[in-house]
Copies of this chain bind each other. A is one copy, B any other.
Amino acid sequence: MAEQDPRGDPPRDLPRDPIEHLVGLLARLPGLGRRSARRAALKMLMHPEKAMLPLAEALRAAAAAVQPCGVCGNLSARNPCGICTDARRDRGLICVVEGVAELWALERAHAHRGLYHVLGGTLSALGGVGPEDLAVQPLLARIAEAAVPVEEVILALPATVDGATTAHYLSDRLQGSGVQVTRLAQGVPMGGALDVLDEGTLAAALKARRSL
């Protein structure tokens, strides 16, 4: 069945039609629906050498080269990653994040000059995620064995119940280690209109008000 006469039935019914197969894979990407996947495939098919083969090669190269950093868990073509090996960064300051997406977002903000630690999730009683499922032990080991003493751990965890649970748990585990534990400020986001903000954020922003 796979090797049909190339002049036989129309390709729409064949699951292995290369165009439909490509559109199907593109449509799985976040942000691309089936409609835009079709548009993207068509645009690329107009210039196969210029558009498709470079992307195919980039995907293969990234899949082959990129791996989690053995120190912080960042995804990178180097191990340890470029952040962990950057001599200009403050090694006494570790920012704990849920995942690599959050690490990248903080890097784009250019606001953190220390190192990172990717937990790989948050504790979740409902989801059955315990401390042993996260990179908690590697964080504690990293702090205990650091050549440069770690002075502060910033918990940049999501402002959710699971995020708060994880923050409390980590804070407990770090008690007595001499490391200062902090968390991100909560409040009104930049450019945020007050009337569309949820009550929780408004209450937190009011409670944490500062004098001008």
A interface residues, Cβ below 8 angstroms from B: 6-12, 17-19, 21-22, 25-26, 28-32, 36, 38-45, 48-49, 51-66, 75-78, 80-83, 85-86, 100-101, 104, 107
Contact = CB atoms under 8 A, between A and B. Distances in A.
Contact of A86 (B9, B28, B30, B48): B9
Contacts of A29: 26, 32, 40, 43-44
Given A12-B82, A40-B31, A82-B9, A18 B75 contact: no
A7 B43 contact: no
B82 A55 contact: no
A21 B205 CA distance: 40
Contact of A56 (B44, B57, B101, B107): B57
Contacts of A100: 42, 45
A85 B9 CA distance: 7
Nearest to A12: B82
